[in-house]
Structure 1
Amino acid sequence: MRKILLLSLFSYSLFAQNPIETFTKDMEKKDGFLPYYWDAKKGKVYLEIKQFDTELLYYPSLAQGIGSNDIGLDRGRLGQEHVIKFQRTGNKILMIEPNYGYRALSKDPLERRAVEESFAQSVHWGFEIAAENAGTALVDLTPFLMQDAVGAVQGITRARQGTFRLDAARSALYLPNTKNFPQNTEFEVTVTLTGDSPGAYLRDVVPTPTIVTTRQHHSFVQLPDNDYQPRSFDPRIGYIFTSFFDYATPVSEPITKRYIVRHRLKKKDPNAALSEPVKPIIYYIDPGAPEPIRSALVDGAKWWNQAFEAAGYKDAFQVKLLPTDADPMDVRYNLVQWVHRSTRGWSYGTSIVDPRTGEILKGKVTLGSLRVRQDYMIAQGLVGDFKTDSTNVEDMMGMSIERLRQLSAHEIGHTLGLPHNYVSSIHDRASVMDYPHMLVELKNGKVDLSNAYDKKIGDYDKWSIIWGYQDFPKGTDEKKALNAIVDQMYGKGLYFLTDQDARPEGSAHPQTHLWDNGVSAVAELKRISEIRKLTLANFDERKLRAGTPMSSLEEVFVPMYMFHRFQVEAASKVLAGVNYRFSVKGEKNLETLPVAGKEQREALAALLQTIQPDFLKVPEAVLKLTPPRAFGYDANPRETFKRRTGLVFDPLGPPEAAAGLTLRMLLNPERLSRLVIQSSIDATLPSLEETIDQLVNATWKSSASRAGYAGEIARLVEKMTLDKLLELANNKEVTPQVRAIAMLKVRELGTWIQGRAMADTKQKAHHLFALHQIETAKSNPADLSVTAPMTPPDGQPIESGYDWLAPACDWELPAFSKMK
C-alpha cells in the first residue's frame, strides 16, 4: 500500500511540475473551438481538451487533390462524418465514436444503456496526456493527423494505379490551412504516398508518379444544439436520409427510423404566409472560377430562392461570392468549389451532416472545370460553322453557360437534401434534379439551341422544398400537413422516381431516364434521330477553327454520331417496361402495370431502325477528312472511336459501337426475362420469341442490299446479333426459358442460313462463319470464340453530376451525405 501511495504521489508530482503553461511556454497558441499549440521546434501540434464526454463532429477531407477523375481523389472531397467524444482513463484519453446506427429514443437511461452495450463502438485514437491543469489536458495530436485519413491509398488501389503507402518522413503539418474558428478547428497536413508500378492515370497527372503528395484536412466541428426537429422520411417525395434502429420503438411499429437530410430553417413568424427566416441559408461561390462561368454559377444557385419563396420564406436562400478574408474550410460557409482535373468528370454535391438528426451543417459542391468544354464541343458539332474563328461562338457559349447555370442549381440541390428525380422530364423539365439532355430543335431546317436548357427552378423542386422545409405554425398536425402536400403535388401530375428507376440496364420504368426530354421515349428517339441525320449530313471541316489539325475532327464528330445514345437507352426501357410509382397504403391507383403492347412494339421498331446500315454509315465527308492523328495530338481513347485498322480511322468502328449499344440494351437479360413473364400473363404483350424474330428479320433476313460499305455494316451487325444470341443461350445467369428461346432462335437461324445459296463471296464467307459459330456452340460451347464488340467513347458525364454515384456510377453512398 505504501508503494502504491508513493507511486501515486510521484505521478501527481510529475504533472504538478508540468502544467500546460510550463509545457507550452515556447509554443504558439491558437484559441478557438478547440485551442491548440504549435511547437515549431519539433513540428508538433498539441490539442487542449477541456470537455470530456461531450460530443462533437470529426471528418477528414482532401484539400489538394490528385487531379484525375478516374481515381476520384479530387480537391475538396469530403470524407465520412464521425460523431466523437474524448474520454479519459488514467493518463490516456480515447477518441471514441458512439454507435448511432443503433439507439433507443427513450428517456430511460437503462433502456439506452442496454442498446449502447449491445453494439460495438469505434476508438479512433488513443492519446497520452503530455501536460494538464485542473480539468484540462494537453495531448500530442500530431500522430493522429499524420495518417491517410481520406483513404487515398485505398483509392489508388481501387483504381488499380499501384501499391502505395504513407511516407511519414515526407509528411508534415501544413500551417497556412491549420486554423481555429469559433465553431470549428481545422488542421491540414501535407501527406506523401510512395509506391511502385504507378498506373496510367497517375502517370498523367503526377510529376513523379511513384511519389504522390497531396494535402489532407482534419475538421473538428461543434455539433448544433437540440433546437432542431428532425423530419421523418417519406419515399413518395425525394430526400436523402439517414437511418437507424430505434429499440425503444413499440413492437407493433417499424424499428427502423429514417430522417431526411436538410438545413435548419425557421420562419421568424411561422403563422405568416411569407416570412423572413430566423437565419438564411447562404451559399458562397468560389471566386477562383473565371468569368463568365462565375456569374453563371451565381445565377443558377439563386434559382433555389424561387423554391423557398414557394415554401413561404422571404430571402431565405442567398448566394454570395466567398469573401477574400473568408476561409473555405470554415464550417460556417456553404461552398461551391471550382475544381480542375486532367479529364472531364462528374460534379458532386455533398454535405456535412449531423448523423444523429440529419441536419446539414455545411453544403459542399464540387464542379469540374472541363465539363463546360465538353458542352461547348457538343454545341460546336451541332451549330459550329467556322467561317471565322468567332462565327457562331456566341450561340455555342450561350448553350454552355446555360448548362452551367443548371449544373450549379442541380449540385446545390443535392446539398439541400434532394436526390435525383429522373421522371421530371416528362412534365416540361419539372426538376433541376434530373439529368437534362440539351433540348435541340429544328427551326426552318436549321438546328436551334435557344431553348437548350431551362432557365428557372422546376415545379417539382418547389414542392419538394415546401415539403422538406415548411415551418408549420404551432399546433399543426405535421404528419397530416405533409401528406396533404404530397397529395397536392400528385394532383399536379408530379411525382418522384430516382436512380434505381432510371438506369438503362435492370430498371423498367418507361418514363424515368437519364439525359432525356419529352413524355414519350420512343417519340423523342425518332425526333433526336432526325436531328442527328441533319447534323451528320452537314458535318465537315467547317466544324473546326482555322489551324486545328484535321484529325481533331473526330472528337467533335463522336458526340454527333452518338447523339441518339441516351434516347436508345430510354426507348429500350419501354420494351417490357412497367408503370409504377412510389406509393404507400391508403393511396389510390396503386397498381403496377406493364406498358401496353402497342407502345412496346413501337419501341422495338424504333430501336431496330438504329441498327440499319443507312443509320449507321459514317458520312463520306468524315471518312475523307479524318486522317491519322497529327503529331503531338495523340488520340484520347475516351473521346474517340476505337478501331481495328491501326492508325487509320476505322469506318466500321462507329457502326460497331452504336449497334453494340442498341443490341446490349435490347437484349438485356432482365428485360428478356420480363418479356417471357409478361407475355405469359397477358398474350397481347410482345413475347421474347416475337422480339428475337423481329430482330432477325431486321438484320439477317432484311432485303437491304449487301453491296459496298452498307453491306459491310449489315454483315457486321448480323454477326453481332448472332453473337448476342449465342451469348444468351450459353449464359448460366439468365432464366432457363430465356436460354431455351435464344437457343431455339439460333437453331432456326442456322437452318435458314443453310437454305440460302450465295454466289457473292463476301456473303458466302459470312454465312459459313455463322454456321461454324452455331455448330461450335451446339457441339462444344467451351470452344466458342466471340469477338467482343468495341464500346462507344464515354458518354457520361456529358453535362451533369452523379452525385450519388462515383465516376463509374458505383453506389458508394454513405447513408446521408454524398450526392453527385
Structure 2
Amino acid sequence: MRKMMMAGAAALVLATGMAPMAMAQTPPAATAAWQDGLFAVRTDAARGKVSARFGAPDATGVVGRYLYQPGISAGIGMDGTGLDRSALGQAQVVAFTVVGNKVFARFENNRYRAEGASDDEQNAVAASFATSIIWSGDVTERHADGSISVDLSGFLERDAVNIVSRLKRAGQGSYKPAPGLSYLEAGETLVFPDNVEFQTVQTYTSDEPAGSIGRVAPDGRSLSLAIRHSFIRLPDDGFTRVPHDPRSGTSAQITVTDFATDLDTPVVSRLARRFRLEKTDPSAARSPVKKPIVFYVDRAAPLAIRQALIEGGMWWAEAFDKAGYINAFRVEVLPEGAHPMDARYNIIAWVHRETRGWSTGTSVNDPRTGEIVRGVVQLGSLRDRQDKMIFEGLLGADKSGTGLADDPDQLAYHRLRHLSAHEIGHALGISHNFAASRYEGRASVMDYPAPWVIARDGELDVSGSYTTGVGAWDQFTVDWLYGDKPGTDPVARRAALAAEAQAKGYRFVSDGDTRPLGSLQPYGAMWDNGSDPVAELANVMEVRRIALSRFGLNNLPDGAPMADLRRVIVPIYLYHRYQTTAVARQIAGLDYGYAVKGDGHERAVSVDAATQRASLEALMGVIAPVQLDIRDDLLDLLSSEQSGNNERQFGIELFEGRVGGVFDPASAASASSEVVFETLLAPERLNQLVEQSRRDAGQLSLTEVLDRLQTELAGSAGLSPRQAELRRVVRSRYASYLATLAEGHALNPTAKATVLDAAKRFGEALKRNRGDRLEVAHATYLGNILTGPVEGWAVLKVAQAVPPGAPI
C-alpha cells in the first residue's frame, strides 16, 4: 500500500541550533576529547565507557542538578507492555553529590514542601520524607578548578524505565538484567549547552518467557532494547505556575503538599502542566512570542501520513492565536539527522507494534512547577488501517483509492488528523473531555471521535464523519491554560473563563468518570455522537442494518483472502457497541461535575425518568433477534479459513466460536448482547437504581429494569425458529449475569436481594415456557438452575469474549 521509510541507525550530533551538521568521527580504539555542554562528557569507545565532568561541589557537596528523563529508543513492539519506541520513563530532578571519593545520584522529593518558609521549616519537611539514592560511582579525577570526573556508565546501565517490572505486570514472564549483554552506544552521545543525551543497549533475560514474547523477539529468552538517557538543564525561576482548576479541562499531574500554607488554605494542591509561552510584548492583548511551541513529526512516518499529522496538529495554531499568541504554535518535520529522543524536540513519533494499540500524548515536566519542557506523542501505525477497514466494511472496498469523499483511504487520513491533534493536546497539558461529543458541533478533539455516519433514505452519508479543526471547548482550555489579559488578575481571569464555559452549557467529563462500565455520569461515553443518545442509537442501528444488508464480497479488495471477511464484519456487526454504552449510561444516570463552591453547579441531577425509560426500551431493541441475525448467503461467505501460520493481528479480531473453523453466528450474537449487559447490569448502576427510586417513587427502579428484561427474554412467542435460537443465546447471557451478580459482593443488600428474587422469578417463568423441543429444553434447563440452590448457579457463569473494539 505504501513504502515505509527507514530511520537511521544512529543520530548525528547537532549544533546548538536546529540545523544539523556532521560530526567528526573518533577512531573506535581512542578515547575522545572532552565535549563541553550542559556538563562535559568524554567517551571511551574502546571500553564502552563514558565519563562526566561535573562542577566544583557546593556547600552541600552537590556537583550538578539536572532534570533527568529516561526513555526508550528501540522497544519491544508488543501492545500492552508500554515498552514502545519513544516511550518515556518518569522525569526526576537528579542531584549528583560528592561524599569523600564517591559520587551519589539522588532523586529529589519535590512533592512535599514548605514554600516561602524559613530554612528551619523547609529543612524539617525535607527531613520528614525520603529521597532516593539510586546509584553511586567513584571519583575518577579531581581537576584544578575543583570540578570532578566520574565514570557515568553504571548510572546509564540501570533499569531506568522499569523494564523488569513492566514485563512482569504485562504477564510476559520474569526477566533480569544481563550486564554482559548490554553496552553503551558511544556514537549516540550528544552534548549540547542545555541537554546531554546518552544511549545504551540493555538486554534482559528469562529462563521462562511468556510464549507471546516469541512473536515479537527472535529469541524470547533475551530481549534487547535501546534506552535513551536525557539530562536537561533545570528551568529557571521565570515560569509562572498555574493552580489547577477541576473545571478547566486540563490534566493535573503535579501534586504538591505544602506544609507552610495558612490554615484556611488546603495543604495539598495541584499544578496544571503547560509549556512556558511568553509574549514579546507582555502588555499587548495580542503579541508574537519569544519562543513558539514546535512539534516535530517523525521522519519514519510515510509521506502521506506525515502530511496528515502536520495538518491535524496545526489545528492548535488557531486556538493559540485566539488566546492572543501570534505564530505561537506549529508542526514541522523532524530535521534530517535529528534523533527522535533528543530532549530538544517535541516529537510526534510513528510507533510500530505487532497489533493495533493505543496512541499517547505525554510530556516531560519539571516536577517543581509543572512546566512542560518537552512533549512526546506516540502514534500507533496500525490505527489508520483499522479505520480504513471500518469504512470499507460500511461502504465497500471498491471505494478505496478513488479520492472521492467516501474514499476509505481519505477518511482514514482524516481520522489521523484528529489523532494527531488529540495526542498533541495531551502533550500540551489538556485532558480528555468525553462529554464534548454531546455538544453541537462536537466541540473538542479531546473526545474520542467515532465516525458520524448518517443513514438517509437507505444510503450512508459519510460527509460529516469527522470535524475539521479544534472546537470551542479546545479554544477554552488553551485560553484558560495559556492565555492572559494584561492588567487582570490571572486567577480571577481563569475563574471567570471557567464560569463562562459552564454558563454556555459545556460539560467536562474525564477518564475516571467514563472508562468504568459502572460509571453513572450520563455525559461520559467514548466513541459516541449526538446530543440525544437514544436518537443517535436509532441512527447507528440503521447504519448497521444498511451496511449488513449489502455486506459481502464487495467489502474485500480483489485478491484478498476470503478469511479476511470474518475480520471486516466484526466492527460492522458491533457498530453499535459504543453508542449502546452511551444509552445505558442514562439509566440510573447522575449528572455530576467537577464543581467548585459558589459556581452554581454544585448539585448533581438525576437523568429524568422519561429519558431513562426510553433508554431501557432502546436497549431492548438492540438485543432483539431481528438485530442479531445474519442472512444465510453472508454466513456462507464467512466460513473461509486462513491457511498457514496464525497471524496475531488477524486472530484476536474475530468472534470466538464453538464450531471449529466455521463462523458461529451464535457467538456473534452473544458478543452483541454482551456489550449491552456489561454496562446495563454493572453493579454500580443497579445500586443506584435502588437509591434513585428510594428518593423518587416515579423514577426507574431496579425491579422495573429486571422485570422488563424478563418480559423481553423469557418467552419466544411469535419468533421464527432461527430467531428463537438467537433469543436463547441472549437469554443465556442474561442468566450468566444474574448468577455472577448473585455470587459477587459489589451489590448493596437491597440490590442483591432484588437480583436473587428476579432470578428466581425468571426461572419460574422459563419453566412455564412453551414451544418446540429446543425451546422447552433450554427454558427448562435454565429455569431449574435459577430456581434451585444458588450454589448451583456457577455453571451459568460462562464468559463471552468480545473482540477488541477500541482504539478506532
Do the two structures share a fold, i.e. TM-score over 0.5?
A: yes
Aligned residues of 1:282 and 1:320 also touching (Cα < 8 A): yes
**For 1:362 and 1:185, how far apart are their aligned partners in 2?**
14
Q: What does 1:569-608 align with in structure 2 at a 5 Å threshold?
A: 569-608=581-620
Paired AA for residue 436 in structure 1: P
Structure 1 pair 675/126, CA: closer, same or farther in 2 (3 Å)? same
Give the whole-Å Cα distance in 2 for the aligned partners of 1:306 and 1:26. Answer: 50
* 1:588-633 deviation line (CA, Å, top 9, x unaligned): 2432111110000000000111111111112323201112412137
For 1:790-809, list aligned pairs within 5 A: 790-798=800-808
Structure 1 residue 259, shift from structure 2 partner: 1.0
Q: Classify the secondary structure of the residue corresponding to 1:714.
A: helix
Q: Indicate how the Cα distance of structure 1 residues 290 and 376 shifts in structure 2: closer, same or farther if over 3 A, else same.
A: same
- Aligned partners of 2:325 and 2:250: how far apart in 1? 20
Give the Cα–Cα distance (whole angstroms) in 2 for the partners of residues 370 and 552 of structure 1. Answer: 16
* Closer/same/farther in 2, CA of residues 376 and 207 from structure 1, 3 Å limit: same
Which residue identity does 1:313 align to in structure 2? Y
Partner of 1:46: 51
CA displacement at 1:26 relative to structure 2: 4.7
* Alpha-carbon separation, structure 1, partners of 2:65 and 2:709: 63
Q: Which residue of 2 aligns with 1:105?
A: 115
Q: Which moved more, 1:398-407 or 1:760-769?
A: 760-769
Q: SS at 1:436's partner residue?
A: coil
Letter in 2 for 1:268: T
- Any conservation in 2 of the 1:661–1:791 contact (CA below 8 Å)? no
Q: CA deviation at 1:341?
A: 1.1
- Superposed displacement of residue 564, structure 1: 0.1
Q: Which amino acid aligns with 1:714?
A: R
Q: CA deviation at 1:585?
A: 1.0
Instruction: Map 1:287-306 onto structure 2 (within 5 A).
Output: 287-306=299-318
Cα 1:732–1:488 shift into 2, 3 Å: closer
**Contact 1:286/1:338 (8 A) holds in 2:** yes
TM-aligned CA distance change 1:148 to 1:387, over 3 Å: closer
Alpha-carbon spacing, 1:712–1:269, altered in 2? closer, same or farther (3 Å)? same
Structure 1 residues 636-651: aligned runs within 5 Å? 636-651=650-665
Is the counterpart of residue 175 in structure 1 residue 175 in structure 2?
no
CA deviation vs aligned residue, 1:17-50 (integer Å, no higher than 9, x gap): xxxxxxx995443322121111233221111111
CA shift, 1:375, in A, is 0.5
Superposition deviation, residue 71 in structure 1: 2.2
The answer to whether the 8 A contact 1:639-1:794 is kept is yes
**Contact 1:189–1:217 (CA<8 Å) still a contact in 2?**
yes
Residue in structure 2 matched with residue 784 of structure 1 by the alignment: 794
Q: 1:51 to 1:533 in 2, by over 3 A?
A: farther
The within-5 A match list for 1:26-45 is 26-45=31-50
Aligned counterparts of 2:473 and 2:86: Cα–Cα separation in 1: 30
Asked if 1 retains the 8 angstrom alpha-carbon contact of 2:56 and 2:148, the reply is no
Q: Which residue of 2 aligns with 1:21?
A: none
Unaligned runs of 5+ in 2: 1-28
Shift of 1:323: 1.0
Residues 112/388 of structure 1: CA separation in 2 closer, same or farther (3 Å cut): closer
Using the TM superposition, give the Cα deviation of residue 390 of structure 1 relative to its aligned residue in structure 2, in angstroms.
5.8
- Once the two structures are TM-superposed, the CA of residue 94 in structure 1 deviates from its matched residue by 1.2
Match 2:679 to one of 659, 665, 677: 665
**2:473 corresponds to which of 446, 460, 470:** 460
Q: 2:140 aligns with which of 110, 130, 142?
A: 130
Equivalent runs, 1:526-545 vs 2, <5 Å: 526-545=538-557
Residue 80 of structure 1: how far off its partner (Å): 0.1
Change (3 A) 1:784 1:328: closer
In structure 2, the CA distance between the partners of 1:48 and 1:614, relative to structure 1 (3 Å rule), is same
The answer to which of 373-382 and 197-206 deviates more is 197-206
Could you tell me which residue of structure 1 aligns to residue 421 of structure 2? 409
Contact 1:715–1:766 (8 Å) recurs in 2: yes
Matched, 1:692 2:702: no
Distance verdict in 2 for CA 1:630–1:477, change over 3 Å: closer
1:482 has 2:487 as partner = no
Whichever residue aligns with residue 483 of structure 1, its letter is A
Equivalent-residue separation in structure 1 for 2:295 and 2:482 (angstroms): 17
Corresponding position: 1:760 with 2:772: yes
- Residues in 2 aligned to 1:129 and 1:385: alpha-carbon distance in whole angstroms: 66
Q: Which position in structure 1 is the counterpart of 2:232?
A: 221
- Higher mean displacement: 349-358 or 321-330: 321-330
Q: CA RMSD for the aligned pairs?
A: 1.9
Deviation at 1:183, TM superposition (A): 0.7
Give the superposition deviation at 1:678: 0.4
In 2 relative to 1, CA 310–495 (structure 1 residues): closer, same or farther, beyond 3 Å?
Answer: farther
CA contact (8 A) 1:57 1:82 kept: yes
The farther-off stretch of 783-792 and 272-281 is: 783-792
Q: Does 1:710 align with 2:710?
A: no
Residue 659 of structure 1 aligns with an amino acid whose one-letter code is S
User: Residue 656 in 1 paired to residue 670 in 2?
Assistant: yes
Offset at residue 489 of structure 1 (A): 2.0
Q: Per the alignment, in what secondary structure is the counterpart of residue 78 of structure 1?
A: coil
1:729·1:738 contact (CA, 8 Å) conserved in 2? Answer: no
Q: What is the CA distance between 1:398 and its match in structure 2? A: 1.3
Any residues of structure 2 matched to 1:213-362 within 5 Å, and which?
213-241=224-252, 242-362=254-374
Say if 2:528 is the partner of 1:516. Answer: yes
2:736 pairs with 1:736: no
Aligned partner letter, 2:262: P
In 1: Cα distance, 2:31 partner to 2:434 partner: 59
Q: 2:96 aligns with which of 77, 86, 109?
A: 86
In the alignment, what sits opposite 2:690? 676
Give the corresponding residue for 1:206.
217
The alignment status of 1:546 with 2:558, answered yes or no, reads yes
Offset at residue 147 of structure 1 (A): 2.1
Q: Secondary structure at the match of 1:785?
A: helix
Tell me how far apart the structure 1 counterparts of residues 399 and 295 of structure 2 sit (CA, whole Å): 42
Mean Cα deviation higher: 676-685 or 735-744: 735-744
Q: Distance in 2 between matches of 1:745 and 1:329?
A: 58
- In the alignment, structure 1 segments of 5+ residues that lack a partner are 1-23, 799-820
Structure 2 residue aligned with 1:118: 128
Distance in 2, Cα, partners of 1:350 & 1:761:
59
Deviations 1:725-784 (A, max 9, x none): 23222323311111111111122223333434x462112211221133124434xx1673
Is the CA contact (8 Å cut-off) linking 1:726 and 1:777 kept in structure 2? no
2: distance between equivalents of 1:315 and 1:300?
16
Check whether the contact 1:511–1:520 (CA below 8 A) recurs between aligned residues. Answer: no
The code of the aligned residue for 2:324 comes to G
Deviation at 1:697, TM superposition (A): 0.5
Deviation of 1:389 after TM superposition, in Å, equals: 8.0
Change (3 A) 1:783 1:273: closer
Q: Could you tell me the percent identity over the aligned residues?
A: 38
Q: Which residue of 2 aligns with 1:814?
A: none
1:381 aligns with 2:393: yes
- AA matched with 2:74: Q
Q: Judging changes above 3 Å, is the alpha-carbon distance between structure 1 residues 463 and 391 closer, same or farther for their aligned structure 2 residues?
A: closer
1:364 partnered with 2:376: yes
Alpha-carbon spacing, 1:385–1:183, altered in 2? closer, same or farther (3 Å):
closer
Aligned mates of 2:677, 2:771 — CA distance in 1:
29
Under a length normalisation based on structure 2, what TM-score does the superposition of the two structures give? 0.92
**SS, match of residue 418 in structure 2:** helix
- Residue 440 of structure 1 is matched in structure 2 by 453
Deviations 1:236-293 (A, max 9, x none): 1111221111011012211112111000011112332221012111111112211211
d(CA) in 1 for partners of 2:678, 2:196:
51
| 1:10 corresponds to | none
Q: What is the alpha-carbon distance in structure 2 between the residues aligned to residue 763 and residue 491 of structure 1?
A: 56
Separation of aligned partners in 2, 1:759 and 1:450 = 48
2:659 maps to amino acid = T
Deviation at 1:653, TM superposition (A): 1.2
Residue of 70, 75, 98 corresponding to 1:60: 70
Report the alpha carbon displacement of residue 423 of structure 1 after superposing the two structures with TM. 0.9
Structure 1 stretches (4+) deviating beyond 6 angstroms?
391-394
Q: Which residue of 2 aligns with 1:801?
A: none
Tell me the number of residue pairs that the alignment of Structure 1 and Structure 2 aligns.
770
> 1:504 Cα shift?
5.1
SS at match of 1:163: coil
The aligned amino acid for 2:126 is: E
Quote the residue 2:444 is aligned against: 431
Secondary structure of the equivalent of 2:287? Answer: coil
- Higher mean alpha-carbon deviation, 337-346 vs 694-703, is at 694-703
